[in-house]
Structure 1
């Protein structure tokens, strides 16, 4: 089958680091294996970070797993199943959770499958979905209505899931009268805005440097928008009575957004870090004296993805 494989990590992202090649098709090996014929695969910013080598220290520190197929935002149709699979059948339309999890470790049993102690992440050090076929597991596939087209939903497997996961965790903090700031109305942020509107009564303030994105944010549910430019943090603080928002969602995580997010979070509030690439520099005295919380977000659970598909 044809597949796009990563051959080396390089911050300059050279054209020859990713090559389309003919490789062997994956095979059913275990009773809960599922092989999906890929109908669509999203290109995520994380894919760029993988090529740059940002994930190598975590997933492939010595580079011995190269080459492998990129792609962790996948949807398609079930091609083949193992003998123990009962939740999907050949021909079903499915979206694929980014992780393959064991279901047996403490994290999985607690419902935090994205922290599975035995999990693997297709597209990061093992073969992903930039190929005609993808091997995953029964625990990772969500069956969908056959009228849905994979090309319309593939990106929700990570971009949508990650945005939803963060908003889902924030629900207890966003009751009537609270405010939420969304930094970045791009690939993840626009989904986050819609999830916030659907799940919470909070007033939504969206920041972005792109005026067109801010116009769209209004259509998606933003109550107020602020263009990212000199002084924009002060503008947001004015909108939040000079105190900041109860929850800030940083869908950028670099180029200064990580610092601005902290400044816009009120005392006792929550700074949800979703985008990455930068560094958060916060004195410990600022954390304990204000009881502001920095919350990391790694994709989401299987249940999060199933809920998102209903939403």
Structure 2
């Protein structure tokens, strides 16, 4: 089968021929219906690496083949594949929070598909344990579900971890896929007034469609527009979904005393000056969600409560799509459909 691979000594992905995986005991092979192109793939270390692997950590499709001893799924079942694969035996994994696996230390997160292990940018994906499969609710296409595996699940995890006060104000910095889904989730699950900050006019327009009450470029934050809009109080919650060099400073500029900043990405390029924050500011870092948040965000999408903006591409276009992502030329979430 064809697969999009990162090779030893190479930092750009290439298409290559690889053997189709066969399941061993306890393993499942998924026929991939959609694999999301995530910006964090651009941050995978380049240069020498010990072994090649297939990209793609946002995956959904159909069970194709099961190995000996597998129960609970059968061929043809539509499934999403969890993005974080923990040890399965520590306290956090037992609670379904494999993204916080105790065995993952000192690494920032446990391994998973597309991060050193073969991911879903191929026709088939080998999943080593059935617990990493989540059933797709009826009517949800795998290509629509793929971005929810990472971006949607993490956004829901961030929103659920916040207890909004009366007349709450939330600010989302960055209106990419994660930011747009965060706006939709804030609109659906809270009564907060929502502002979005992004330098791209197209992203601001998408944020308004997603439900933002205010959408403005960074320059209008420093000019005081956001302060006036929030009646001088600032933001009770700031979701930094951009991870750019300037987004931490924007978050620090708009959060109010006693507010919360959530850094909603894998590896931020900017530094947050903690000394410049208002008193009692709480900080969180969210990289993944849990199995529960993935299940719930899939249900919300199936019900039409949230709608990820998706553009699909065939596998042959995947190298070019990563180039578009690097150039910031994608408005929707790109999903490869092998």
What interval of TM-score do these two structures reach, taking the shorter chain for normalisation?
Answer: 0.7 to 0.9
Structure 2, unaligned runs of 5 or more: 105-109, 301-338
Secondary structure, counterpart of 2:296 in structure 1: helix
**Cα deviation, residue 193, structure 1:** 0.5
The answer as to whether partners of 1:39 and 1:151 remain within 8 angstroms in 2 is yes
TM-score, normalised on structure 2? 0.80
**Cα deviation, residue 42, structure 1:** 1.0
Alignment of structure 1 residues 1-311 onto 2, 5 Å: 1-8=1-8, 17-31=12-26, 33-50=27-44, 52-53=45-46, 63-64=49-50, 66-116=51-101, 117=103, 119-136=110-127, 137-145=129-137, 147-170=139-162, 172=163, 174-229=164-219, 231-232=221-222, 234-275=224-265, 276-284=267-275, 286=276, 290-311=279-300
Q: Whose RCO is larger (CA < 8 A, sep 6+)?
A: 2
Matched residue count: 292
Structure 1, unaligned runs of 5 or more: 57-61
**Cα deviation, residue 67, structure 1:** 0.9
Change (3 A) 1:134 1:75: same
Point out the more displaced range, 180-189 or 153-162.
153-162
CA RMSD of aligned residues (A): 2.2
**Cα deviation, residue 274, structure 1:** 1.0
The answer as to whether partners of 1:233 and 1:263 remain within 8 angstroms in 2 is no
Secondary structure, counterpart of 1:158 in structure 2: helix
CA displacement 1:261-284 (0-9 Å, x = unmatched): 012111111111013432324244
